[in-house]
Chains A and B, each alone.
Chain A
Amino acid sequence: MNPTILSNFPILNQEVNGHPLVYLDSGATSQKPTAVIEAIKAYYEQDNSNVHRGVHTLGNRATEGYEGARDKVRGFINASSTKEIIFMRGTTTAINTVAASYGEANVEEGDEIVITYMEHHSNIIPWQQLAKRKKAVLNYIELEEDGTLSLENVRKAITEKTKIVSVMHVSNVLGVLNPIKEIAQIAHEHGAVMVVDGAQAAPHLKVDVQDLDADFYAFSGHKMCGPTGIGVLYGKQRHLEVMEPVEFGGEMIDFVGLQESTWKELPWKFEGGTPIIAGAIGLAAAIDYLESIGLDKIEQHEHELAAYAMEKMSEIEGMTIYGPTDPSKRAGIITFNLSDVHPHDVATVLDMQGIAVRAGHHCAQPLMKWLNVSATARASFYLYNTKEDVDRLVAGLQKAKEYFNDVY
């Protein structure tokens, strides 16, 4: 990877607890390059105004920036039209919107919704709630022993009663890359729609929603070098056209009468209220940044780092790494436990050495149960991580082991 990448991220140039920072928690949120920070700053300093209202110059600039960002996102995931790109707060809001709008209209008593054991809570609970409201059934696709999904199990779970299949593209815990295109095909054969939680995929690999044939695809800006508070719901136009908005109020309306109102056309009918203008502009800058490096290069880099980390970490005695052992089956996420040391304690010892990792259940309690652990530690990589970071992690883990062995 280009060594100047590190210098694009000012936050990485600091010491934490007396050691140079090694940030290995990009699965939670990524760091932001100067280009993104500057784009947001420039917007507030020069163009700040509300969109779609003012006829004045700043209003025009803000609208152009916001709608320009939408077109940027369209290209980024290869949607066929900007009408299919809805700006949302993030992946969670996007999935909730699909459940509350598409789900509400299309799921009936006795219907089935299919998800997997590895889903993040935000791709479980909206469906649980929908199933409860509709007296529908929420079914889970079983996992293989190494945590991967087999098409055989997918076929077992999807039936003629299935109306919605919702699966994450890349697991935030196991790092596995799911065969979305194949699952979508099976879903469609049974007349179900395919919803994809792309939170851990869109930042790391080239997503093509048309090639995947996803009906809905959700992702967040903050995990892909963009700001928090902005995310995207992609939906096929023919679905979005007939779906009801979930939020009502300003911005999304066409004509308002005393008793009845009509909605704006797509994509605005789903964007009630003043939108996250600076967030969208920041997200556009993030896409420019990621594309200037190349998503294929980023994916390749993370694969290399994960393979290197798996090899080095496996050499530590007492190390358990969850998910597939074949590095080609996984993205840049490694979830692990170190013998008797609780993951929170591992994370604290690493933090004392300036190394940031995640510890806990990663908002995936059903998966933790499936793994038969209460918590795990997770190192997640991004384009700004290096082999030296992995070496620091491995040395830090050795230190944790030594420390806890000594004091025991």
Chain B
Amino acid sequence: MSINSNLDQLYRQVIMDHYKNPRNKGSLGEEAVTVDMNNPTCGDRIHLTLQVEEGIITDAKFDGEGCSISMSSASMMTQAVKGKTVEEAMKLSEIFSDMMIGKDYDDSIDLEDIEALSGVSKFPARIKCATLSWKAMEKGVQQQNTGMEE
């Protein structure tokens, strides 16, 4: 396979679009659940804020610095969890995690843009980039559940 077609597995058009035009960029107010996470081995970092009302993630915004994979994944994640219940978001995160490690994943849910990240599983060195924002989301939801904010 040529270099381009190999790279295309990783860098799909939709990923580059999210990287260049991130959705939900920014930070919610002080009321929101806030999670700061970084990937100490490479320096990527994310600041995630979630608005959770009666078990529903009503809003999500992110800020941060990182490669195209980490930032586009954060953009897609915020888009995907907005309007979902906490359970649905956690389920989505589980599916995403399965997809990243190359496991068969539950395809009964339409992943929409997230599907584009499936190629990352072929690039083991980049899986942590893709999962950073999802880990942050899970942590935020857990914080919210226990009523403990950092």
- Residues of A participating in the B interface, judged by any CB pair closer than 8 Å: 17-18, 342-345, 348-349, 351-353, 359-361, 365, 368, 374-375, 399, 403-404, 407-408
CA distance A353 to B67 in the complex (A): 19
Are B6 and A352 in contact, CB atoms less than 8 angstroms apart? yes
Which chain B residues border A399 with CB–CB below 8 Å?
3
Do B69 and A374 touch across chains, with their CB atoms under 8 A apart? no
Q: Check A408 against B6 for contact (C-beta < 8 Å).
A: no
B41 touches which one: A17, A351, A360, A407 (CB < 8 A)?
A360
Contacts of B6 in A (CB 8 A): 17, 352
Q: Name the CB-closest residue of B to A375.
A: B43
Q: Is B126 an interface residue (CB 8 A)?
A: yes
* Interface presence of B83 (CB below 8 A): no
Contacts of B109 in A (CB 8 A): none
Asked if B103 lies at the interface with its beta carbon under 8 angstroms from chain A, I say no
The residue that A360 contacts in the complex, of B1, B11, B43, with Cβ under 8 A, is: B43
Please state if B43 and A407 are interface contacts (CB–CB under 8 Å).
Answer: no
A145 to chain B, nearest CB (A): 23
Please tell me if the beta carbons of B126 and A348 are within 8 angstroms of each other in the complex: yes
Interface residues of B (CB under 8 A from A): 1, 3-4, 6-7, 10-11, 13, 16, 20, 41-45, 65-69, 123, 125-126, 129
* Chain A residues near B41 (CB-CB < 8 A): 360
Contact between chains at A407 and B13 (CB < 8 Å): yes
Q: CB < 8 Å: which of A344, A352, A359 contacts B3?
A: A352
A344 near B42: Cβ-Cβ < 8 Å: yes
Q: Closest Cβ of chain B: how far from A396's Cβ, in Å?
A: 9
Q: How far is the CB of B2 from chain A (nearest CB, A)?
A: 9
Which residues of B sit under 8 angstroms from A404, Cβ to Cβ?
11, 16
Residue of A342, A351, A361, A399 with most partner-chain B CB within 10 A: A342
Q: Return the chain A residue nearest B42 by Cβ.
A: A360
Which residues of chain B are within 8 angstroms of A348 by Cβ–Cβ distance?
Answer: 7, 10, 123, 125-126
Min Cβ gap A390→B in Å is 19
Quick one: which of A18, A344, A352, A374 contacts B129, CB cutoff 8 A? A344
Cα-based distance from A28 to B43 in the complex (angstroms): 17
**Complex interface: chain A residues within 8 A of B65 (CB):** 374
Residues in A whose Cβ lies below 8 Å from that of B1: 18
Q: Which of A18, A342, A349 contacts B7 (CB 8 A)?
A: A349
User: Complex Cα distance A342/B20, Å?
Assistant: 12
Q: Tell me the complex Cα distance, A344–B45, Å.
A: 13
Supposing A342-B68, A361-B42, A374-B66 touch, asked if A407 and B16 sit within 8 A by C-beta, the answer is: yes
B69 / chain A contacts, CB cutoff of 8 Å: 344-345
- With a cutoff of 8 Å between Cβ atoms, the chain B residues found around residue A375 in the complex are 42-44, 67
With contacts A17-B6, A344-B66 known, what are 20 further pairs, Cβ within 8 A? A342-B68, A343-B67, A344-B67, A345-B68, A348-B7, A348-B123, A348-B125, A348-B126, A349-B7, A352-B6, A359-B42, A360-B42, A360-B43, A374-B44, A375-B42, A375-B44, A375-B67, A404-B11, A407-B11, A408-B20
Residues of B within 8 A of A17 (CB): 6
Q: In the complex, are the beta carbons of A342 and B66 less than 8 A apart?
A: yes
Closest to B15 in A: A407
**Contact, CB under 8 Å: A368 / B68:** no
CA distance A18 to B2 in the complex (A): 9
With contacts A342-B66, A348-B10 taken as known, whether A408 is within 8 angstroms of B43 at the C-beta atoms is: no
Question: Bound state CA distance, A48 and B11, in angstroms?
Answer: 50
Contact of B4 among A18, A359, A365, A403 (CB under 8 A): A403
Residues in chain A near residue B67, CB distance under 8 A: 342-345, 375
The reply to whether A352 and B7 contact each other, CB–CB distance below 8 Å, is yes
Question: What CA separation (Å) do A352 and B68 show in the bound complex?
Answer: 16
Q: Which residues of A contact B125 (CB under 8 A)?
A: 348, 351
Contacts of A360 in B (CB 8 A): 41-43
With both beta carbons as reference points, the residue of chain B lying nearest to A346 in the complex is identified as B67
Q: A343-B67, A408-B20 are in contact. Are A368 and B3 (CB under 8 A)?
A: no
Count chain A CB atoms within 10 A of each CB in B10, B68, B125 and give the residue with the most.
B68
Question: Looking across the interface, which residue of chain A has its beta carbon closest to that of B13?
Answer: A407
Residues of A contacting B43 in the complex (Cβ-Cβ under 8 angstroms):
360-361, 365, 368, 374-375
Name the distance in Å between A15's Cβ and chain B's nearest Cβ.
13
Q: How far is the CB of A364 from chain B (nearest CB, A)?
A: 10
Q: Which residue of A lies closest to B65 (CB)?
A: A374
Chain B nearest Cβ from A149, distance in angstroms: 24
CA distance A359 to B123 in the complex (A): 15
Chain B residues lying within 8 Å of A351, measured Cβ to Cβ, are 125
By a CB distance below 8 angstroms, the chain A residues around B13 are 407
A residues within 8 A CB of B11? 345, 403-404, 407
Evaluate contact between A408 and B126: CB separation under 8 angstroms: no
